[in-house]
Amino acid sequence: MAIVAGVDIGNSTTEVCLARVNARGEKEYLSSSIVKTTGIKGTTANLPGIRTALDDALRHAGVDMNELVQIRFNEATPVIGDLAMETITETIITESTMIGHNPGTPGGIGLGVGKTVTFAELDRIQSGEKVIVVIPARIDFEDASQAINWAFDRGVDVVGAIACQDDAVLIANRLDKRIPIVDEVTFIEKVPIGMLAAVEVTEPGRTIQTLSNPYGIATVFNLTPEETKMVVPIARALIGNRSAVVVRTPQGDVKARTIPAGVLTIFGQRNREEVDVESGSSKIMQAVERVQPVVDVKGEPGTNAGGMIERVRQVMSDLTGQSLERMNIQDLLSVDTFIPQQVRGGLAGEFALENAVALAAMVKTSRLPMQQIADQLISQLGIPVVIAGVEANMAVLGALTTPGTDKPLAILDMGGGSTDAAIVTRDEKVHSIHLAGAGDMVTMLINSELGLNDLDLAEDIKKFPLAKVESLYHVRLEDGTVRFYEEHLPPQVFARVVILKESGMVPIPSEYSLEKIRHVRREAKKKVFVTNALRALARVAPTGNVRHIEFVVMVGGSALDFEVADMVADALAEYGIVCGRGNIRGTEGPRNAVATGLVLSYSGGGA
């Protein structure tokens, strides 16, 4: 009898399957374990995670380390995902033309159009003049409201206000007339004085209508058709805001500038394609498909895309100890996305959603890094370590332990960094493919589109459903149903969008609505998982046509996601494919497929 351990080193997790094998090759499964992968997949930094996973599996089985006859690894292909560029477009506003941020509590309501004046000169303004008063930080809200009321009494038509501090509501509540007030303008001293300006504030729950519309701005400032074209970036940056200020300056220069994102050169075995990243993800992916199989990708030197590609190569070269020239990119996934970018030239830290392209690159290294891991583990434990097989092939063997499955069978192994697919025919032939992009890329998209700057929070948004806390005793779930609680909820979650984790509610520190966050989450999953599922299955299908596949089993960590499996199954249903989550060995769910396959591939001796 021999005790064998199959170790699957994934991008996110390291999994172990422990089994006892008799002389006839029959397997008795003893235990399994799962831990977070340490370091980037396929590097010696994985060793601490491997040791922990092995120790856990051995402890659960009541087996000592020295009883192990062999440890079997998968061939791990490192995958690095990164944003190829900050943006493809950006809004640039010079000469202080726009203040379009969204303070939490603007004051008043309505649209006011008038000349900007300093607070100090308000008492010198003549009766009948329409003005917008600019209130610096040193002025108290009591003094500001009193001065504006005196101006009203003298017949001055104060139609709006711009304040540095967060005093808008306090000022508005003390005024004799209701005017729109935008506050929290950081660089108040840069607001142009003596210029025609418009201030717009709407009711809570609504968004501005005039200043977010280029024709609205044209009406306010009596612009020519050519000038109206120039204000399109302003209007675009203000869409969705509850408040905004636009100041017309004679020297104002507003434009949407395209950042040179760079050209990607994709090399295939027989030809190559060049594609400008600015043309978007669909063009990039069309180029990738035309040159299949991809043998390498280069980025234009001195551009964002070129920097990203070279950064990926450099990281893998440093981690594996191999030369930079040997780092080839074997697959690329491109996805259109948005990034909140600071508006250049704005006065209050304004942000606008700008177009961007996200890239996930799969770096193909030699067998050397995995051999380095094996050699170090042998020296530490004194136990034979074998690099047993290609990851997708092992996943097929593991997936076939799912009750109700049989050959021919295709699997989708959706992990953290890569989407792998394989198909096994009735005569035992296996064809597999590894594609860049999976769970980590979804997390990256959620993090960037919502402007979270918190990958852990983005990961939670990806993995768990949402709710809106509507009172201290009930929440409305994202499907519209209501859940009531006998005890009151924590005060810090009141009126917030929260993540429903097993450990409790986690409030999301964002002003986005539940519907917006859910939309971003689901679109990110569709862009990555559904796209890659169809792409991978088309590559392994005998004829290159997904319709010629009958059964698909989903395995890997992302198959556990509460909505990904349904999304993929829905996408494949139109092709007449039976698709569902695997249940490895009838006990593990979609987890442990590769580790189980590694054990199943053991035939005794050193194999």
Reported as a single tens digit per residue, the pLDDT across 109-133 is: 999 999 999 999 998 999 999 999 9
138: containing domain? 90-257
Asked if residue 523 and residue 412 are part of one domain, the reply reads yes
User: Is there a contact between 194 and 116 (Cβ–Cβ < 8 Å)?
Assistant: yes
How far is the C-alpha of 445 from the C-alpha of 380, rounded, in Å? 39
Reported as a single tens digit per residue, the pLDDT across 504-529 is: 999 998 878 999 999 999 999 999 99
Number of domains in the chain: 4
Is there a domain that residue 479 lies in? no
CA nearest to 360, candidates 402, 309, 413: 309
Q: What is the CATH classification number for the domain harbouring 119?
A: 3.50.30.70
Domain boundary among 240, 257, 274: 257
Asked if residue 3 and residue 16 are part of one domain, the reply reads yes
Asked if residue 517 and residue 455 are part of one domain, the reply reads yes
Asked if residue 149 and residue 248 are part of one domain, the reply reads yes
Is there a domain that residue 426 lies in? yes
Domain boundary among 257, 290, 323: 257
Q: What is the CATH classification number for the domain harbouring 418?
A: 3.30.420.40
How far is the C-alpha of 315 from the C-alpha of 69, rounded, in Å? 35
Side by side, the strands of the sheet bearing 181-182 are 98-99, 243-247, 196-201, 110-118, 130-135, 157-163, 181-182
Name the token pair of 172.
């508005």
Asked if residue 137 and residue 208 are part of one domain, the reply reads yes
Which single residue is written with the structure tokens 């004799």? 176
Reported as a single tens digit per residue, the pLDDT across 193-244 is: 898 999 999 988 788 999 889 899 999 988 888 878 777 777 877 877 888 8
Asked if residue 355 and residue 441 are part of one domain, the reply reads no
Q: How many CA atoms lie within 13 A of 117 on its CB side?
A: 23
Reported as a single tens digit per residue, the pLDDT across 298-351 is: 988 777 778 778 877 787 777 667 777 778 888 888 888 877 766 655 555 556
Q: Where are the beta strands (DSSP E) in 76-139?
A: 79-83, 89-94, 98-99, 110-118, 130-135
Q: What is the CATH classification number for the domain harbouring 295?
A: 3.90.470.30
Q: Per the confidence metrics, is the pTM higher than 0.85?
A: no
Reported as a single tens digit per residue, the pLDDT across 130-188 is: 999 999 989 999 999 999 999 999 999 999 999 988 889 999 999 999 999 998 887 78
Is there a domain that residue 493 lies in? no
Tell me what pLDDT residue 94 has. 45
Is there a domain that residue 565 lies in? yes
Asked if residue 438 and residue 564 are part of one domain, the reply reads yes
pLDDT above 90 as % of the chain: 49
One-letter identity of residue 5:
A
Question: How many CB atoms within 10 Å of residue 205?
Answer: 6
Q: What is the mean pLDDT of residues 351-376?
A: 76
Asked if residue 43 and residue 12 are part of one domain, the reply reads yes
Tell me what pLDDT residue 318 has. 77
Asked if residue 412 and residue 395 are part of one domain, the reply reads no
How far is the C-alpha of 117 from the C-alpha of 122, rounded, in Å? 7
CA nearest to 540, candidates 438, 355, 392: 392
Q: Which of 43-52, 249-258, 296-305, 337-346 has the highest mean pLDDT?
A: 43-52
Is there a domain that residue 488 lies in? no
User: Is there a contact between 593 and 411 (Cβ–Cβ < 8 Å)?
Assistant: yes
Asked if residue 516 and residue 558 are part of one domain, the reply reads yes
Direct distance between the N- and C-terminal alpha carbons of the chain, in angstroms, rounded to an integer: 15
Name the token pair of 378.
């042998």
Asked if residue 195 and residue 99 are part of one domain, the reply reads yes
Asked if residue 172 and residue 229 are part of one domain, the reply reads yes
User: Is there a contact between 190 and 215 (Cβ–Cβ < 8 Å)?
Assistant: no
How is 189-208 classified by DSSP, letter by letter? GGSPSSSEEEEEE--TT---
Is there a domain that residue 489 lies in? no
Tell me what pLDDT residue 258 has. 53
Is there a domain that residue 541 lies in? yes
Tell me what pLDDT residue 80 has. 59
Task: Give the C-alpha distances (Å, rounded to integers) separating 546 from 253, 553, 568.
Answer: 52, 14, 13
Is there a domain that residue 422 lies in? yes
Domain boundary among 209, 224, 257: 257
